[in-house]
Structure 1
Amino acid sequence: MKTITLFITLMLAGCSVTYTTESFVYQDDKPEKELNIGKIQMELVEAEISAVVNTVSLSTQDGIELRGVKLINKNALVNIVFFSANGMKISSSSKILNKFSLLPANVIWFDYRGMGISDKNDKLSVKNLQLDGLSVFDFSKNEFPKNLPVLIHGLSMGSIIASYVANNRETDALILDGAISTIPQLVENAAPTWSKLFYSINLSTELSKINNMELIKKYNKPLLLLIGENDSTTPVENSKALLDLSPSEAKVLAIIPKTEHGETMKKDKGIRAYQDFINNLVCCTSE
């Protein structure tokens, strides 16, 4: 994540640095020309996964073109709208689609605006990202098979977008993976203890107000929290706090042993915990 490396900048910049959404959220200088969809399909073939992947696109309210991928698995039990981590682009992280295929699931995943193959605007705001999240969800609902539950999965920074969308749209379940509680807490976790003697970090009002805990208080549908035992970016305590706040009667905290931030779906135990959650969800929704 970008937050892991921002402290090098701080050391060079002096005693105090203020971060805005534009400087905090990863942005490419310009969009990638195109996605190598053939490479992604070959990764599925090599893993002996019988799924088909295609490119998708949509236009936002302010005229930005977002682009992404749609994975369709003939054996899918659920549909998943995936919101990735800060700086996690489809072009460099496409193998996570193989992991989703193991669940098995259909997936739609868009690069955020200003990242990967999606267009960039002159100004970026949290509101932009939230509205984009709603657009992606609405688009996905129309693209997915209608007979399967629709889940929202947010990884790291994507957990904030996922929770926002889940509170503003009808969905069947929410998965928070390496969940952020608040941005100030995220920055606090990422800063080495010794470094706090030499500089301070100031966040813009917009970033300071991001609070996943308040969103989870309002979400009462099935909830899965995936977290790595060794995650220092969004520690296990964060996910435990979110679990305690959730009013859901079907909530699960899966702590994956010997796992760092953003690595839960690379581990067999992470996939099994996800599969167990889906099996329980499908069983209950089909009754």
Structure 2
Amino acid sequence: MVNLIKHCIFLLFVGVLTGCAIDVSSSSYLYQDASTQPIDVTALSKSISRDEAVATITKVELKNSLDLTLNGVAVTYPHAIANVVLFADNEMSITKNSAMLHEFGQLPVNVLWVDYQGTGASEKASRVRMYQLKRDALLIFDFAKHHFKNNLPTVVHGISMGSILASYVAVKRDIDGLVLDSAINKVNDVVANMVPSWTHLFTILKVSPELAIIENEDFVRQFDRPLLLVVGDKDRTTPITFSRELYEASPSPDKWIYVVPGGKHNKSMTYPDVKGQYRLFIRAVRRLKGARS
């Protein structure tokens, strides 16, 4: 997401000077690293040791439909109450954010996180496209179901841009619960939210058709199992209104929205009260999964 902000600021400056349109394409919206780097989970290991916890860290490797190697990490805990498949935000790599995985371990849940193609440790294509990330998301979910060989409920958790992929998986696969964290509804709204209103006099925003048609609400309307939305009240990138739109659109009889006091973008899992809400959510997911069995 930071990459998009920088890109928009640059284009905004050019647009103000020239009065031209600002084009936002998949290549400018979806972050790509210059080169791949091996996964480093030192921060995760330190977090686990600091809590005197026990966990197994397994590095995983997947091949996608483009024959790209996607690399990730699966972390398992002895007394896990669920399995979580994590889809992170734009620009979030495992190496730079591995300590966050233990925030999930404190619930405790098993968690799988795979770097997006072109990000962190995963190989990249000549051009990244959103529909390719959706295909990868299904691959990652299917891998998780095979990797976590247990009867625990499976929860898909999406952070910001990852919320789009999480919702997509939720309607394409049989999952037990969905968590949308700092959620996006329409990409158009995210882009417009980053551009000051006074610049509208000088520029016109043009979002590529592939991105413009994305409305997370379309996926959420098709999902009727437990849903938890989490958003910080200080989130300026994906404000509360985005999450409220998705909450209202959801047909689920078991849905919750939690606004984190003082919460900022992408930081939800670092707040103790969020972990408390998450545990209550998983308790409901387990109960409802048992009722369906």
TM value normalised by structure 1: 0.96
Residue 170 of structure 1 corresponds to: 174
**Quick check: 4-13 or 104-113, which moved more?**
4-13
Corresponding position: 1:16 with 2:17 = no
Matched, 1:79 2:83: yes
Match of 1:6 in 2: 7
Amino acid at match of 2:28: S
1:283 partner letter: R
The AA in structure 2 aligned to 1:188 is: A
1:77 and 1:105 in contact (8 A); partners too: yes
Q: 127, 132, 139: which one pairs with 2:136?
A: 132
2:106 to 90, 96, 102: 102
Once the two structures are TM-superposed, the CA of residue 38 in structure 1 deviates from its matched residue by 4.5
Classify the secondary structure of the residue corresponding to 1:45.
helix
Partner residue, 2:255: 251
Structure 2 unaligned residues grouped into runs of 5+: none
Match of residue 27, structure 1, among 13, 26, 32: 32
Q: Please give the per-residue CA displacement for 1:89-121, whole angstroms capped at 9, x wherever unaligned.
A: 101011111110111100000000000000011
- What secondary structure sits across from 2:157 in the alignment? strand
**Alignment deviations for residues 16-37 of structure 1 (CA, whole Å, 9 cap, x no partner):** 22121112100011111x1123
Question: SS in structure 1 opposite 2:273?
Answer: helix
Shift of 1:194: 2.6
The residue aligned with 1:123 is 127
Residue 42 (structure 1) aligns with: 46
RMSD (CA atoms): 1.4
Q: Structure 2 length normalisation: TM-score?
A: 0.94
CA distance, structure 2, for counterparts of residue 204 and residue 65 of structure 1: 27
Match of 1:202 in 2: 206
Determine the C-alpha separation between the residues in 2 that align with 1:11 and 1:219.
37
Q: Tell whether the 8 Å contact from 2:7 to 2:28 is kept in structure 1 after alignment.
A: no
1:222 — aligned with what? 226
Residues 198-252 of structure 1, C-alpha deviations (whole Å, 9 max, x = no match): 3232111101011101111111111000111121211111111111111111111
The answer to whether the 8 Å contact 1:40/1:53 transfers is no
Could you list the structure 1 runs, at least 4 aligned residues long, displaced by more than 6 angstroms after superposition: none
- Comparing 12-21 with 247-256, which one deviates more in the overlay? 12-21
CA deviation after TM superposition for structure 1 residue 190, in Å: 1.7
Report what 1:262 is aligned to. 266
Amino acid at match of 1:249: P
Provide the secondary structure at the position in 1 that maps to 2:179.
strand
- C-alpha displacement at 1:39, in angstroms? 4.6
Counterpart secondary structure, 1:167? helix
- Alpha-carbon deviation of 1:11? 3.0
Relative to structure 1, the CA distance from residue 96 to residue 38 in structure 2 (aligned partners, 3 Å threshold; closer, same or farther) is closer
Equivalent position SS for 1:224 = strand
Q: Percent identity?
A: 35
Distance 2:151 2:232 in 1: 32
Q: Is the 8 A contact 1:41 1:52 kept in 2?
A: no
- Once the two structures are overlaid, the 10-residue window that deviates more, 8-17 or 154-163, is 8-17
Residue 179 of structure 2 is aligned to residue 180 of structure 1:
no
Q: How many residues matched?
A: 286
Q: Do 2:44 and 2:100's aligned partners in 1 also have CA atoms closer than 8 Å?
A: no
Question: What is the CA-CA distance between 1:284 and the residue it aligns to?
Answer: 3.2
In structure 2, what is the equivalent of residue 274 of structure 1? Answer: 278
